[in-house]
Each structure stands twice: as C-alpha cells, then as structure tokens.
Amino acid sequence: MATVAKTHSAAHRATLGRESVREALVGYAFVALPIASFLIFFMYPLANAFYISYFDWGALGKIESVGLGNYRDLLDDFLFGKALRNTLYYAAVVVPAQIALGLGLAVIVNQALRFRTFFRAAFYFPSIAGSIAITAVAAYILSADGLLNAGISAISGDEYNRPWFGQSDTALESIMALNIWTTSGTMMLFYLASLQSIPTDVYEAAAIDGAGPWRTFWKITFPLLKPGHFFVAVVSVIGALQVFDQAFFISAGSGGPNYSTMTIVLYLYNTAIEGARFGYASAIGIILFAIIFTLTLIQRLLFGRAEVA
Amino acid sequence: MADARDLPSVPPVVAAEQLAAEGEVAIGAGPAGIPGQERSERVRRVIVYVLLFLVALLFFVPFFWSVTTSLKTLPESVGFDLLPDNPSIRAYRSALSAYDFNRYFLNSVFLAAVVTTSTLFLASLGGYAFARLKFPGREFLFLLVLGTLMIPNELRLVPIYQMLIDLPVLHVNLLGTYQGYFVINLVTATSLFLMRQYFLTIPKDYEEAAKLDGAGYFKTYWRVMLPLAGPALAAVTILTFQGTWNDFFWPLIIFLGDETKYTLPLGIFQFRTQFYTQWPELMAASVIAIVPIALIYVFFQRYFVAGVTAAGVKG
C-alpha cells in the first residue's frame, strides 16, 4: 500500500521516521472509538450469541450447558416452524416483487422525462416514513371499514368488510403488500445508481444497430445491471428475512391472528424479552444469521462474477 | 468473512462519486428519434405520463388520506368524504392529551440529535484516518468495520440486552436509560464507510498546503477536510437522523414500560394497542411522526439519495 518516494536525504528520512510514528499514533487515536464500539457492540455480541446458545440461560443467568440442545429443540418447535415458514413465504413473495417494481420504476425515471425529479420523489416518498407510522396508516386503510374495502365495495357493488390484518388468511399478505409498496422506492434508488454507471455509448451502438427499446433493455441494460441485481437482491433478501416492526405492530406482538404473522424475529423477540429464554433465543438468532449468510453466498455465486468486469 | 473488495460496494462508490460531482445526475439515454414516427411517439408519451401520474397518485393517496382523516371526527373517519366538513385539530389535541405525544416528540428529537452528532463526529474523524493517515493494521481494521455490516441486529439482541443490564467492568444497569441507547449507537459502519469514500475523492493538495502552514492532524481534519466534505456530512446527517427517528427495534427493547422515555414510534404503538379504532387520533400521531422527515426530504432530497444508496450496504 505505502509506496514512499526514494528521493529524500538521510536527514529527511529521520524526521520522516518520527513523523510517521506520530502519524500512526494519531491514526489509532482517531479510529479508536469507532473500532472499540464495533468490537464491543458487534463482534463481541456475535461471539457471545454462539456461546449463550449452548446454554439453558434464564432471567437470572446461566442454568446449565445443553450443548446443541437448543438447536435440537428448535427442530420440534411448532411455533418456530411456523415462524420460519411464514418468513420464507414472505421473502419469496416480497423479494421478487420489490426487485421487479424497483427495476421498472428506475428504468422509467432514468429516461429524459419531464417532471423526472417529481416522479423520483413521489416513488421514493413511502420509503422515508417510519415503519410504525406507515403501518398505522395501513392499519386504517385496510381496516374493516377502511378505504380499500370501500373501493372494493364501490367497484363490485356488494358490501365488503374484510379486516385485512385481522384475518389469518390475509394478514401476512397484507404486510407483504405494505412492504412492497414502501421499499420499492429504495430499490429504485439502488437500480438508478447502477443504471447511471452504464456508459451511454453502449446505447448509441445499439441504436445504430437498430435495436428497439424492448430489445435494448433485455439484451443490454439487464445484463449490464448485474452488479446492481446482486446488490438489490442481497439488500432485499436480508431486509425481508428480518421483518419485525410491521408484524409486531399489527398483532401487538402476538404474531396473530392464529400465528399467521409470527416471523422469525418476532419469535426471537418474544422468546428473549417476554420469555427470558436467552439461550434458546440466541439459537434462533444464530439460525437466522446462518440463513442470511448462506443466501448471500448463493446470490454471490449467481450474480457475483460480473462484478469483476 | 468476505474480503473488502468482495462486498457489494458498487452503488455506494457510485453514490460517493455522485456526491463528489455535486450536480444533478447525468440524464440517461433517451429513446432515439426515428423520423416519421413522431406522432405515435407523442401519443405514446402522453399515455406514459398519464400512467406515471396515476402511479405517483397511488403512492401518495395513503398519506393524503391519513392527513385528511387526522382533521376529521370519528364518525367522519369511517365515511369516505375526501375532505372533512369541518376540519379541526381536535384529534391532535385528543391524541396529545390521551398520551404525552409532546414528550414522545421531544424524546425522538433528543435521541436523533445526540446520535446524529456523535455519528457525524466519529464517522468523519475515523473516515479521515482510514482515508489519509498511514498506520500498521489499517486495512485489517477497515475490514473489521465492513465486517460489522454482516451482523444482523437480531443476533445482537440477547447479548446486548444482557450487556445493558450489567455493563461489563463498570457494572451499571443501562437498560431503560438514554445512555443505553446512545452507547450502542455511537457510530455506524455505513457512515464511516461513506465518509472515507468521500475523503478519498478530495485532492491531497489542500492538506499539503495546510501542512506547510504547520497545521497538525486534528487541525487539518477540522479546518481543511470537514469544510470540504459538506455533501457527505449532509448525507450522513440525514441518514442517521432518519434512521434514529424511525427506529422502533432498539427503543422497544430499551425503553418498553417507561412511558417518559418513549419515542414517537413507541407512542404510536401504545396508542394503537389501547385505542384500537380511534382513527383520527392514530392518524394525527402518525402525521406528527412522518411530517418532520418529509420536510427534511423535500429540502435535502439530493443527499437522501446518496445516503440511502450507501446505507444499502447495511440493508
């Protein structure tokens, strides 16, 4: 990294030596607090989570070592299975929808449109509001006598009164719809950054060859967006697997109705904070970490190679 | 764990470059004009614009609806008049008196202000050191910073909860205190990364001039580098302020049960569980939580874009 030019005299080098020691000390001092903070509140918790997960650990501390017992118990835990299935189902719907919508919006607002800035702002707007405030708004619109049902009633002619968040066959799906809406703007921004890194001369070449917009998109834009796809997919998957706020809000923490909104993180929270079963909760956290880590690696293998280019 | 170059760093770097360019982003390739097709082209464009405005409307309707409802009475709130007959701030008063939303608002401002200040200082100071100063182990330490991005919040829940109850060495209980929230949110890897990337784009001439004037490292950072890093500082400010303002997870864990320390998201959650269908009041509380961020967004849109793109590393 350090390539020092060899044009200095010996006397110069002596002062430089002292100077570089000083520089190093100052460097350590400047990064000391951030590094300490990351070690204490990230790296140590990571190691500690593994450690705690090998114990039966209650509110008053360690009870006994259970080895992999917590992990074995998870296999037979009905609620954990439910939470895992719900979360994977949630991710399987939300991730592709977010990616498709984000890409579509990005391609549109990347064109030389009038009011382009306005459209970008409008599409991104739902992403800036806090998850709790926006879920409260959604709870109102999707309530039994809310705006959505009124719209459906007006179109169909029949009175429609479904409490979307209150019935187990639509509660999780409603959270999906909510989050697809609120985060597609963020995905749009990621794709926009990626789109703008594509050199314009590729498009000029395509236009000379007579390629239409549809063909240009699939043959040129889409493949060239490979780093963007990887990035968006990773961010989207990680976010989806960690869904918590919305499920916690609409079910008041219970994961109801009928555990239809029980997610992995909600179950983890309940196990740790409500149940004070810290060893078991840590095992859930490790499983989630392992899933995220594995999926990120797989996505890397799928999309990663183009990044070198 | 991944090597620094293996992390998906493309968009953040782009974001940093956009910040450095400090201008409106280049216009993408527009459709090439084909002679003789101008008319159908015009029709197509009109259709596209109409569709776009409809989608934009769809994105706005929920917000519009929450604002108008917050000005309605309860009977009106289950009807579908676009605007209230007699708009009033009754729901705001009622929400404020049922719960201490004034207090929640001030708590949110306080938490966001402190966390933003500490993040700005530590991220820029650390970012400067990683970008400019040479010290053994620099690359390794920077990898450690990036590595924290891989650790999800949920995994940290139990260890941090226990740490806050009984802080190692000092043996104090920080659960339920503001200090507990501050100590785990001193600085983020995303902000530090963003600052470093930005400092790397600044030419070294400025610092060398300062060095000739005999300025020390801290003075160079404070007097030369910081004033040049305005756009990056703005992005970090917005990113951190918004993140803290909207944070629900950690305030829930740290403050649950002590209403005097609730932030707006916690207040809204509490209100909802107590008064299930008091829609005007609930919407009033939500509007109070959304409007400040919306205002910041309107005025500093450009920095939002760069900040969010960089924050994507964190997910």
pLDDT in tens, B182-221: 999 999 999 999 999 889 988 888 888 888 888 889 999 9
- CA distance linking residue B36 with residue B26, whole number of Å: 28
Nearest CA in chain A to B286: A133
- Give the model's pLDDT for residue A206: 83
Q: Which residues of A touch B277 (CB under 8 A)?
A: 143
Q: Is residue A220 part of a domain?
A: yes
Residues A23 and A86 in one domain: no
The answer, yes or no, to whether the previous bond of A257 is cis (omega within 30 of 0) is yes
- Give the model's pLDDT for residue B71: 87
> How large is the average pLDDT for residues B65-71?
86
Residue A71 CB burial class (10 angstroms; 0-12, 13-18, ≥19): middle
Residues A83 and A133 in one domain: yes
Please, which pLDDT band fits residue B274 given cuts at 50, 70 and 90? confident
Residues A43 and A96 in one domain: no
> How large is the average pLDDT for residues A175-198?
89
| A41, pLDDT greater than 70 | yes
Nearest CA in chain B to A118: B56
**B228 CA to centre of own chain:** 22
pLDDT in tens, A59-69: 888 888 898 99
pLDDT in tens, B140-170: 999 999 888 888 888 999 999 999 998 878 8
Please, which pLDDT band fits residue B255 given cuts at 50, 70 and 90? very high
Question: Would you call A46 and B161 a contact, using CB atoms and an 8 Å cutoff?
Answer: no
Residues A245 and A274 in one domain: yes
Which of A84-93, A239-248, B16-25 is predicted with the least confidence, judged by mean pLDDT? B16-25
Choose between A283 and A160: higher pLDDT: A283
Q: Phi and psi dihedrals of A63, rounded to 5?
A: -105, -60
Question: Would you call A242 and B6 a contact, using CB atoms and an 8 Å cutoff?
Answer: no
Choose between B177 and B27: higher pLDDT: B177
Residues A125 and A202 in one domain: yes
- CA distance linking residue A49 with residue A147, whole number of Å: 44
| Shortest alpha-carbon distance between residue A89 and chain B (Å) | 19
| B302, pLDDT greater than 80 | no
Q: Is residue A61 part of a domain?
A: no
**B268 CA to centre of own chain:** 19
> How large is the average pLDDT for residues B224-240?
90
Question: Would you call B256 and A48 a contact, using CB atoms and an 8 Å cutoff?
Answer: no
A39, A52, A128: residue with CB nearest B158 = A52
- Other beta carbons within 10 angstroms of residue A13's beta carbon come to 13
Residues A110 and A207 in one domain: yes
Q: In chain B, pLDDT over 90 holds for what percent of residues?
A: 39
Which of A268-272, A289-293, B80-84 is predicted with the least confidence, judged by mean pLDDT? B80-84
As for the ipTM of the complex, it is 0.86
For residue A291, the surrounding DSSP H or E stretch is helix A278-303
Residues A42 and A85 in one domain: no
Please, which pLDDT band fits residue B5 given cuts at 50, 70 and 90? very low
| A294, pLDDT greater than 80 | yes
**B155 CA to centre of own chain:** 22
Q: In chain B, pLDDT over 70 holds for what percent of residues?
A: 83
* Domain B92-311: assigned CATH number: 1.10.3720.10
Question: Would you call B14 and A121 a contact, using CB atoms and an 8 Å cutoff?
Answer: no
**Vertex A110 angle, CA A108 and A114, to 5°:** 80
pLDDT in tens, B124-148: 999 999 999 999 999 999 999 988 8
Residues A47 and A88 in one domain: no
Residues for chain A: how many in total?
309
Number of domains in chain A: 2
Quick check: B59 and A126 in contact, CB under 8 A? yes
Residue A222 token pair: 């889409």
Residues A251 and A298 in one domain: yes
CATH number of residue A104's parent domain: 1.10.3720.10
| B8, pLDDT greater than 50 | no
Please, which pLDDT band fits residue B248 given cuts at 50, 70 and 90? very high
Q: Phi and psi dihedrals of A58, rounded to 5?
A: -105, -165
Tell which B residues from 23 to 82 touch A, by Cβ distance under 8 Å.
Answer: 25-32, 48-49, 52, 55-56, 59-63, 65-66, 69, 78, 80
Nearest CA in chain A to B67: A137
- Give the model's pLDDT for residue B46: 85
A185, A189, A288: residue with CB nearest B152 = A288
Q: Is residue A225 part of a domain?
A: yes
Please, which pLDDT band fits residue B231 given cuts at 50, 70 and 90? confident
Please, which pLDDT band fits residue B24 given cuts at 50, 70 and 90? very low
A111, A123, A141: residue with CB nearest B59 = A123
CA nearest neighbour of A272 among B294, B158, B246: B158
- Give the model's pLDDT for residue B206: 86
Please, which pLDDT band fits residue A160 given cuts at 50, 70 and 90? confident
Residues A30 and A141 in one domain: no
Quick check: B70 and B90 in contact, CB under 8 A? no
Mutate to test the interface with B, among A1, A19, A30 (most CBs of B within 10 A): A30
Residues A206 and A156 in one domain: yes
Please, which pLDDT band fits residue B309 given cuts at 50, 70 and 90? low
Choose between B294 and B81: higher pLDDT: B294
Instruction: Identify the bridge partners of residue A56 per DSSP, sorted by sequence position.
Output: A64
Quick check: B264 and B105 in contact, CB under 8 A? yes
What pTM was estimated for this model as a whole? 0.86
Q: For tokens 């926009």, name the residue.
A: A192
Containing structural domain, residue A20 = 10-52
Quick check: A109 and A188 in contact, CB under 8 A? yes
Mutate to test the interface with B, among A15, A31, A141, A214 (most CBs of B within 10 A): A31
Quick check: A191 and A180 in contact, CB under 8 A? no
CA nearest neighbour of A79 among A263, A289, A214: A263
Please, which pLDDT band fits residue B9 given cuts at 50, 70 and 90? very low
Please, which pLDDT band fits residue B308 given cuts at 50, 70 and 90? low
DSSP state letters, A31-72 = HHHHHHHHIIIIIHHHHHHHHHTTEEEETTEEEEE-TTHHHH
Residues A32 and A173 in one domain: no
**A221 CA to centre of own chain:** 24
Q: What letter does residue B25 receive in the DSSP assignment? A: P
**Vertex B262 angle, CA B259 and B268, to 5°:** 100
**A9 CA to centre of own chain:** 54
